[in-house]
Amino acid sequence: MYATGYGSMNGWAADLMGQDIADKVGKVWGLGSDTPKDPGPWEGEQRNMWKPTKQEALWFHGGNLHQSRHYSLYLALQLKARHVGIPTPVHEPAEVHHTH
């Protein structure tokens, strides 16, 4: 677990684990608003937040106080279920269409 403070989660992933892993995961945050800094794709929820990523055992948790308190429960339940062997199928993560 790393508490990185405010900043780009993609940047922290690259700094801590390497650019290849950051590129494999793709963008963190954003809904796919089709703007230059958030080109998509639309997944209906925050990209790579509070759910499994394309990198085994890498999860992202962040946000303001409300988001952190609220979503920490759901993230913890997912991790606990996996730890005790409860099947936790997820939708296939969207293809990474962009890097950096």
Angstrom distance (rounded) from CA 48 to CA 3: 17
Entry pTM: 0.74
Q: Which helix (H) or strand (E) holds 74?
A: helix 65-84
Give tens-digit pLDDT for 66-77: 888 999 998 999
The structural domain count of the chain equals 1
pLDDT of residue 19: 94
Residue 1, domain member (yes or no) = no
Give tens-digit pLDDT for 14-65: 999 999 999 988 888 877 777 777 766 666 678 888 888 888 889 898 888 8
Residue 96, domain member (yes or no) = no
DSSP tag of 69: H
Tokens representing 80 are 């606990």
DSSP tag of 35: B
Structural domain span for residue 27: 9-84
Residue 91, domain member (yes or no) = no
Q: What is each CA distance from 52 to 34, 35, 36, 74, 99, in whole angstroms?
A: 23, 25, 25, 12, 18
Residue 90, domain member (yes or no) = no
